[in-house]
Amino acid sequence: MARRRIIAGNWKMNMTPSQAVELVNTLKDLVVNPDVDVVYCVPAIDIVPVAEAIKGTNVQLGAENFYIEDKGAFTGEISAPMLKECGVKYIIIGHSERRDIFGENDILINQKVKKAFASGLTPILCCGESLALRKAGTYTEWIKRQITWDLTGVTADQVKELVIAYEPIWAIGTGETATADQAEEVCKMIRETIAELYDAATAEAVRIQYGGSMNAGNAAELLAKDNIDGGLIGGAALKPDFGQIVNA
Ligand code: PEP
């Protein structure tokens, strides 16, 4: 079964609302590809203007974060119903920056995955190892454990819709990309883990992205690998290069 490629930009804490609209307009003609799901995951304050700016294009909207409750006394947070009403379809969960800087653990990440599905949002679930774990050679076990925890109680039908992003922390924003073989090794292992936790059909359906300094120069080689179905892109998503990645 051919899986549909998904190229998602993670804009992080970049782009004021007016800059965001300008970027959408700059990229508009560059990101057209009928065979690829193109997603912009944008800061909360940019969601409404970007939703307006992408109307009539092939681009889908994603958010970078949310909280597991629908409403209430959660100062500073944003809920799934709020995102849904603004046209958000995808939600990044478990990014290493949320794990490391904001202390999100696998219990919360698991709750977020389940809440996203219950709310009609598609999670882009991030996993990946630090440089220390890579050097120690224990990265496979680590990522397996992340996936197992984060998907506790998630059904096979939900996992078939899920997007998993393998993002080695040592490659995020560093300019150092995993080689295509290193990325493929882990993405294949993630698919095998899904087969063990669920079944072969679920493993075949789940889409797995690579993320970590993917750019116009290295995208084609990474995306050519059997188990890499797309990319989660930070820095290069803010430049015309993103169009080259979508069309790699
Ligand atoms: C990311 O933060 O998801 C990411 C992959 O960033 P970059 O492409 O800048 O390494």
Residue whose pair of structure tokens reads 């219990």 in the numeric block: 107
Of 175, 242, 177, 247, the closest CA to residue 15 belongs to 242
Is there an atom of ligand 1 within 6 Å of 94 CB? no
pLDDT over threshold 90, residue 2: no
Residue 9's DSSP bridge partners are: 40, 233
- The predicted model gives 91-100 an average pLDDT of 98
| Residues 51 and 61 sit within 8 Å (Cβ to Cβ) | yes
Is there an atom of ligand 1 within 6 Å of 238 CB? no
Shortest-distance atom of ligand 1 to CA 12: 2
Is there an atom of ligand 1 within 6 Å of 10 CB? yes
Q: Which domains does the chain have, with CATH numbers?
A: 5-246 (3.20.20.70)
- The predicted model gives 7-22 an average pLDDT of 98
How far, CA to CA in Å, does 123 sit from each of 136, 139, 197, 244?
A: 30, 23, 18, 25
Is 0.85 surpassed by the pTM of this model?
A: yes
Measured in Å, residue 230 CA sits from the centre of ligand 1 at: 13
Shortest-distance atom of ligand 1 to CA 237: 8
Query: Which residue in 97, 129, 167, 184 is the catalytic one?
Result: 167
Q: If pLDDT is split at 50, 70 and 90, which confidence band does 40 have?
A: very high
pLDDT over threshold 90, residue 136: yes
| Residues 243 and 57 sit within 8 Å (Cβ to Cβ) | no
For 204, phi then psi, to 5°, come to -70, -30
| Residues 10 and 237 sit within 8 Å (Cβ to Cβ) | yes
DSSP annotation of 226 reads T
In the prediction, which pLDDT does 174 show?
A: 85
For 62, phi then psi, to 5°, come to -130, 160
Least trusted range by pLDDT, from 24-33, 50-59, 176-185: 176-185
Structure tokens at 147: 């996936």
Is there an atom of ligand 1 within 6 Å of 232 CB? yes
Percent of the chain with pLDDT over 70: 100
How many beta carbons lie within 10 A of that of residue 240, not counting itself?
13
Is there an atom of ligand 1 within 6 Å of 150 CB? no
Q: If pLDDT is split at 50, 70 and 90, which confidence band does 1 have?
A: low
Give the integer Cα–Cα distance in Å for 16 and 38: 21
At 148-162, the pLDDT tens digits run 999 999 999 999 999
Is there an atom of ligand 1 within 6 Å of 128 CB? no
Residue whose pair of structure tokens reads 């883990």 in the numeric block: 193
pLDDT over threshold 90, residue 35: yes
pLDDT over threshold 90, residue 144: yes
pLDDT over threshold 80, residue 225: yes
Q: Is 95 a catalytic residue?
A: yes
- The predicted model gives 176-192 an average pLDDT of 95
Task: Report helix, strand or coil for 51.
Answer: helix
Measured in Å, residue 49 CA sits from the centre of ligand 1 at: 23
Give the integer Cα–Cα distance in Å for 2 and 4: 6
Burial state string for 17-41 with b = 16 or more CB within 10 A and e = fewer than 16: beebbebbeebbeebeeeebbbbbb
Measured in Å, residue 7 CA sits from the centre of ligand 1 at: 12
Measured in Å, residue 199 CA sits from the centre of ligand 1 at: 30
- The predicted model gives 216-235 an average pLDDT of 98
Is there an atom of ligand 1 within 6 Å of 167 CB? yes
Q: If pLDDT is split at 50, 70 and 90, which confidence band does 176 have?
A: confident
- Identify the residue whose C-alpha is closest to ligand 1 atom 8: 234
Shortest-distance atom of ligand 1 to CA 10: 3
Is there an atom of ligand 1 within 6 Å of 169 CB? no
Per-chain mean pLDDT for the chain: 97
In the prediction, which pLDDT does 10 show?
A: 98
- Identify the residue whose C-alpha is closest to ligand 1 atom 7: 234
First to last CA, the chain: 21
pLDDT over threshold 80, residue 132: yes
pLDDT over threshold 70, residue 17: yes
